[in-house]
Amino acid sequence: MALSNVLETPASGFNFENVSRNVALDGLLEGGHTKAPKPMKTGTTIAGVVCKDGVVLGADTRATSGEVVADKMCAKIHYISPNMYCCGAGTAADTEKTTDLLSSNLTIFSMTSGRNPRVVMAVNILQDMLFRYKGQIGASLILGGVDCTGNHLYTVGPYGSIDNVPYLAMGSGDLAALGILEDRFKPNMELEEAKELVRDAIHSGIMSDLGSGNNIDICVITKQGVDYIRPYQESEYKDKRQRRYKYRPGTTSILTEKIVPLELEVVQETVQRMHTA
Amino acid sequence: MNTRGLRSQLKDSVPVTGMGPQVGAYGVQDTLRSGFSSVKNELLPSHALELSEKNFQLNQDKMNFSTLRNIQGLHAPLKLQMEYRAARQIQRLPFLQSSHLALDTLKGNDESISFEDILNDPAQSEMVGEPHIMVEYKLGLM
């Protein structure tokens, strides 16, 4: 249907038409009792450590929506490129989409230039994107990878700040995890030791923070390849749900049985030919 | 490409045109085309990003061109802007879908994906403009 008030094609990108409507609607419905639905946050513990042979990233698997656990097996370690993985904390959709966009951009780059992308390139792209949107995209990311210049671990905040450090923790459980990391981190650790350290850091985040929980995922990136162990450790508090609530045949005992035969006689018979050609 | 640390170039950025009343041909509110004006809606941007996103591309271009001018001389931005102008003219009539392929290649948009490519794709727009009105608006007749 052609509208006569459209003078130019609408610009692509974000559309802010409904913002004033949303603001007006916020307190209007039922006198302020109904509120807009909350976005699903990952209220998380994520951690990363640089070791001798590569980078080890770890994350818990709980996603919360307000006070309810929305997802018990959420995947917080996202694939960026064959040599880079990214853990995301903050709003779940924002981290997913941002890392997706980053991964697509890096794939295009590696196809056009014929080179493997470096970690600094990914960090710069993320920083530009997040700074442009002034923190409205709620994504705190830990990016780790191995490239030709070495093993790197970066953190990118939601407003576009970056930090390049050998060990990191982000999310709502970061203080607990950082305590463990500060205590036991040594430069140039062995791989197994680094995996145990990250596991312990995430574990302390799970124990001390309500927003983190359930299983622990670990991702080990080395020059030889990536080992994504999901789950590295399952939570001890698994619920014992049956998942099948049908009764077995024979559960109810039969007391009496009465059979009444139904007598039918053929009244009319018509034959219709089906043309199967 | 995002240029950073160029506070001295910021004086060249496009002043934010903001949310003034939509003026028509005679300098007053064009009630026929844009409806009744509401002061509250137009004076204050409703979202923090609305203004900055509206002029983002323009500001980036201005900063990049002025850096280029300082490094390589006046001919560099002049030549680039001439090419942009030529490429911008390669398009179909306003109500039809044009790919802007030449312009995208020049600007480097063909090698990156951002929210402009995913959200609000003009190819999937639900609103179609009346062809005659759109062409007249573009030619400046209306």
Residue A44 appears among annotated catalytic residues: yes
Q: Which of A44, A45, A91, A98 is catalytic?
A: A44
**pLDDT of the residue at A163:** 94
| Alpha-carbon radius of gyration of chain B | 18
Among B33, B51, B120, B141, the residue to mutate for chain A (most A Cβ within 10 A): B120
Q: Could you identify the residue written with the tokens 């995947």?
A: A75
pTM for the model stands at: 0.78
A:B CB pairs within 8 Å: 87
Say how far apart CA A48 and CA A197 lie, in whole Å.
10
Exposure of A183 in the CB half-sphere (CA atoms within 13 A): 11
Please say whether the beta carbons of A47 and A181 come within 8 A.
yes
Say how far apart CA A88 and CA A95 lie, in whole Å.
5
Q: Spell out a b/e string for A18-50, using b for 16 or more CB atoms within 10 Å of the CB, else e.
A: eebeeeeeeeeeeeeeeeeeeebbbbbbbbbbb
| pLDDT band of A232, cuts 50, 70, 90 | confident
* Least confident window among A1-5, A182-186, B46-50, B133-137: A1-5
Say how far apart CA A69 and CA B133 lie, in whole Å.
53
Specify the amino acid at residue A236. E
State how far the alpha carbon of A39 is from the alpha carbons of A67, A68, A158, in Å: 12, 12, 16
Cβ within 8 Å, pair B128-A14: no
Percent of chain B beyond pLDDT 70? Answer: 70
The helix or strand, by DSSP H or E, that contains position B132, with its residue range, turns out to be: helix B131-139
Mean pLDDT of A162-172: 92
Please write down the HEC assignment for all residues of B59-127. Answer: HHHHHHHHHHHHHHCCHHHHHHHHHHHHHHCCCCCCCCCCCCHHHHHHHCHHHCCCHHHHCCCHHHCCC
Residue in chain B lying closest to A13 (CA)? B116
| pLDDT band of A69, cuts 50, 70, 90 | confident
Closest Cα in chain B, distance from residue A190 (Å): 38
Residue in chain B lying closest to A134 (CA)? B49
Cβ within 8 Å, pair A9-B129: yes
Cβ within 8 Å, pair B112-A105: yes
Considering only CA atoms, which of B114, B35, B47 is closest in space to residue A126? B114
Number of neighbouring beta carbons within 10 Å of residue A245: 6
Among B41, B47, B96, B107, the residue to mutate for chain A (most A Cβ within 10 A): B47
**pLDDT of the residue at A252:** 87
Please say whether the beta carbons of B49 and A136 come within 8 A.
yes
Closest Cα in chain B, distance from residue A218 (Å): 29
Considering only CA atoms, which of A227, A12, A221 is closest in space to residue A122? A221
State how far the alpha carbon of B7 is from the alpha carbons of A112, A235, B13, B66, B73, in Å: 33, 51, 10, 12, 19
Q: Could you identify the residue written with the tokens 């671990």?
A: A153
Cβ within 8 Å, pair A10-B125: yes
Cβ within 8 Å, pair B129-A3: yes
- Per CB distance under 8 Å, which residues of A are interface residues toward B? 1-16, 19-20, 23, 101, 104-105, 108-109, 112, 128-129, 132-134, 136
Q: Is the pLDDT of residue B128 over 60?
A: yes
Tokens coding A30: 């039922």
Residue in chain B lying closest to A22 (CA)? B46
**pLDDT of the residue at A220:** 94
Closest Cα in chain B, distance from residue A140 (Å): 19
**pLDDT of the residue at B1:** 47
Q: Could you identify the residue written with the tokens 């990250």?
A: A198
pLDDT for B42-83, tens place per residue? 666 677 788 888 888 889 999 999 999 999 999 999 999 999
Cα dihedral across residues A146, A152, A153, A156: positive or negative: negative
**pLDDT of the residue at B9:** 52
